[in-house]
Amino acid sequence: MERKNAWTTYEGKDLEELTALAEDYKEFLSNGKTERECVKQSAALAEKAGYHNLEDLIANHTPLKSGDKVYRTWMGKAIVLFQMGKEPLEAGLNILGAHIDSPRLDLKQNPLYEDTEMVLLDTHYYGGVKKYQWVTLPMALHGVVVKKDGTKIDICIGEKEDEPVVGVTDLLIHLAGKQMEKKANIVVEGEDLNVLIGSRPLKDEDKDAVKKQMLNLLKEEYNIEEGDFLSAEIEVVPAGKARDFGLDRSMVMSYGQDDRVCAYTSLAAMLKVEAPQRTACCILVDKEEIGSVGATGMHSHFFENTVAEMLALCGDYNDLVLRRTLQNSYMLSSDVSAAFDPNYPGVMEKKNAAYFGKGLVLNKYTGARGKSGSNDANPEFIAKLRKIFDDNEIAFQTAELGKVDAGGGGTIAYIPAVYGMNVIDCGVAVLSMHAPWEITSKSDIYEVEKGYEAFLRNCR
């Protein structure tokens, strides 16, 4: 059961491809720090690869045929791509599904305030975070502000070299005696994650002079008024680009690799596939980190509705055909796994842990306290995948999320499984998952992209 480190199997051509993929991936990460930015980039890459916007086909009743490539975005925060197979839709789809939301600090609806002549933004954290990790870092503001007339202002401040950054301060060690005795989950409390954005007062102003100066600046530079925060979605994320990690450049360090590492590799695999037997599909969704809820999360009917639209364009829609299409599908829930960390061996069971360099990770189940809440994949499906991966020389490993009862987690896998389709979690191992800066192995990224491609082409 011992598996080779994939790095030892590479020849010159593999290393070239691996490096090219890692470069493209880092670019995607650096330009995609919110779900909206990821959707925008994904749609642009899809268009470049010959995909057409499904909305146009729906509007014009354009029939769909084998080989057609289409995509559809939803509220700017989710995207799904299809490439029509040689077989009818009813035979089922081969689906790669990943999420493009990541843990972060979201601005509250009424965020702006002044305290002791400093101006701050109040936040509510999003997803599972160790709050103490999010202080004293250079942070950037990304998102949208929607004016009452519907105009949308894109915000991205703090990423260019000459742009200022913002951030959350921490208590100096000299005065932290009491703080250091607190439990880690309250050493920095959620309500104290306030982002410092300014300290310069407006002249000849007695009250809230710093806030007034800031409001003037927001109005002049971004055309934002204080009331506009009510209809804004601004995410405070670590500032700076994705970069190589390790003196040997074997790893990538970046914000947001859970789950953009699987989202990007799913998209890359999707765009490489040509003329598949079964219809290929790649769906990138929002809101996984808070339960896959809302209109843009995996629980949304957006996906099912879009498959119904596709069937209608094939002249083949009825409720039964839709149900068959979904139940006959296979899906890789492309999400990250916890990588074995030599600093913290105690939480892992070594035979069933994921390791850097050992390739794509299959998680039969996730969950916690006796697999609770997990999609427990069928061995019949796993056998199919083993064969595909072995036939295509994909390095893969199997793992669970830590020791029994050490903790747990979930993914989107259990949601499409509701249709009666086979689903399994399958992705890249990550170190420091959910931290502001996460680490992955370039060889795992390479193996996963190849594995996803092999799945789209061969699973039946």
Q: Which residues of this chain interact with Mn ion, rule CB under 5 A?
A: 258-259, 335
State in angstroms the smallest separation of the CB of 238 from Mn ion.
Answer: 15
DSSP for 30-68, please give it: HH-SSHHHHHHHHHHHHHHTT-EEHHHHHHHTPPP-TT-
Choose between 157 and 261: whose C-beta lies nearer to Mn ion.
261
State in angstroms the smallest separation of the CB of 377 from Mn ion.
Answer: 17
- Give the whole-angstrom CA distance, residue 128 versus residue 107: 16
Choose between 96 and 307: whose C-beta lies nearer to Mn ion.
96
Choose between 233 and 335: whose C-beta lies nearer to Mn ion.
335
State in angstroms the smallest separation of the CB of 336 from Mn ion.
Answer: 5
Q: Dihedrals φ, ψ of 327, to 5°?
A: -70, -25
Choose between 258 and 400: whose C-beta lies nearer to Mn ion.
258
Residue nearest to Mn ion (CB): 259
Choose between 68 and 335: whose C-beta lies nearer to Mn ion.
335
State in angstroms the smallest separation of the CB of 371 from Mn ion.
Answer: 18
State in angstroms the smallest separation of the CB of 120 from Mn ion.
Answer: 27
Listed residue (283, 236, 235) closest to 262, CA to CA: 283
State in angstroms the smallest separation of the CB of 216 from Mn ion.
Answer: 39
3-state class percentages of the chain: helix first, strand second, coil last, to nearest 5: 35, 25, 40
CA distances (Å), 159 to each of 141, 153, 223, 351, in order? 9, 17, 20, 41
Choose between 69 and 99: whose C-beta lies nearer to Mn ion.
99
Listed residue (3, 2, 70, 77) closest to 36, CA to CA: 77
C-beta separation of 449 from 268 below 8 A = yes
CA distances (Å), 59 to each of 53, 56, 70, 402, in order? 10, 5, 14, 48
Choose between 88 and 127: whose C-beta lies nearer to Mn ion.
127
State in angstroms the smallest separation of the CB of 289 from Mn ion.
Answer: 5
Strands (E), 100-240: 104-115, 118-126, 139-146, 152-157, 195-198, 232-238
Q: Dihedrals φ, ψ of 390, to 5°?
A: -65, -45
- Give the whole-angstrom CA distance, residue 345 versus residue 343: 6
